Amino acid sequence: MNTNMRALLCATAAAAALLTSACGENSAETAPVVTETEPATTFAQPATALGLPTAAPADVGFSAEGLQSLRDEFRALVDNKELAGVTTVLSRHGQIVHFDTYGAASAASGEPLQPDSIFRIASMTKPVAGVAMMQLWEQGKWKMDDPVAMHIPEFADLQVKTADGGTEPQNSPMTMAQIMSHSAGLGVSAVYGGSDLGSGDLQDMINKLAAMPLETQPGTAWDYGPSVNVQGYLIEKLSGQSLDAYFEENIFQPLGMTDTGFWVPEEKAPRVVAIHTYDDNGQIMAADASNEVRTDKPEFLSASGGLMSTAGDYWKFAQAVLNGGELDGAQILQPETVQMMYENVLADGVAVDLYGPEMPGIGFGMDFAVVMDPEAVGTGQGLNTHYWGGAYGTWFWIDPTNDVVFVGMIQNRDGSRPDGGTPRTRDISPRATYAALTDPSK
């Protein structure tokens, strides 16, 4: 990023900080009321500074009052010390109507959060890996019903645990569609806690998994574990490139995602947001006094959760998916391939269950959760909305029914867990978004 643009972004953040100090604790409540005729820059000035497309809210069906409520509700979480800082981005028809950055990058130092701050996006890496896998599918490198062992011979004779403590053969071989949807028989991440799957490289991980039985018969359960790291191995093997090089060449460069990768260069390290947690009173605090940042290539390249990115970069990725695999003339997938990614592939009776109770109305496609029954889900998101989030609380969704993309960035330890202390940002954001979408016909 050039010096002039960086200065403009800093000026935008400084203006927000000045408003905070002027308004005090109730800045979100006392912010000036805006009108329906507000220009695009009222809510999306950082997007303009980043060179991203913007629109006036009314032009794409949003009310200015509704977007102010969205902004105020998230800013109040910072003012109340429930979050250190937050960036939220909302677009419709490929035009950003809301891009708000508020609060601190570090509760310890008080350094302001910037529109181009870099976040650990953890499991939001998974949809990126899914796109990479589907690019290779388009090239004929694999098929949905291929046995995984066709591409990973080490998995040919995997046994399956039984209730009596023994093992049995697979009833049918795990398939590539199952490895893409957390239903291949691998267990949840906690099952492998003592196996140190992340030490060494991806081949070392495959060797360890090949020595352990599956937790369930392939296709019979949805278990959130190492499936996408297995995809990372497959990407390397099928493409002949390292995972970082493949992502860079085939996704990040075409989409202009200049701040996304498995590590950051030294000069970008100060832009990485600190990880936060909560004190005994439920107030936000830095998790550690120092903010350790990876500035060299890791040995283990985690397709499950290793990337860092910015709100603007991830918006580009999500918008490209919504556009049918295209952004600004760069076609990274064909539209019919993208559509396959948000079609549920789980067998009847197999439920998505991330943190406890089953999630009614939710299915799973190629590395995306999918809204199959909007009424049962109850968030306001349209049919076929596909989404995911990260362990540090980052989240996004892509709504093809309403042509909406939303990206949210925070940085909290256990930030995605309902019992982790973090506010329910993933409930707040769709409620406020669809309340603000007052004229979907536009």
Question: What are the residue boundaries of the structural domains of the chain, listed by start?
Answer: 3-124+244-436, 130-239
Place of tokens 């390292």: 242
Low-confidence ranges of the chain (pLDDT < 50): 3-5, 7-8, 11-12, 14-36
Q: What's the pTM?
A: 0.92
3-124+244-436 — its CATH code? 3.40.710.10
Distance between CA 442 and CA 430 in Å, rounded?
A: 19
pLDDT at residue 20, rounded to an integer: 39
What pLDDT does residue 241 have? 98
Helix axes 311-322 and 125-138, enclosed angle (nearest 10): 40
pLDDT tens for each residue of 354-404 = 887 789 999 999 999 999 999 999 999 999 999 999 999 999 999 999 999
Per-residue confidence (pLDDT) for residue 38, from 0 to 100: 58
* Amino acid 292: pLDDT: 87
**Placement of tokens 């959130």 in the chain:** 224
Tokens of 204: 């070392």
Phi, psi of 55 (to 5 degrees): -145, 155
pLDDT value, residue 398: 99
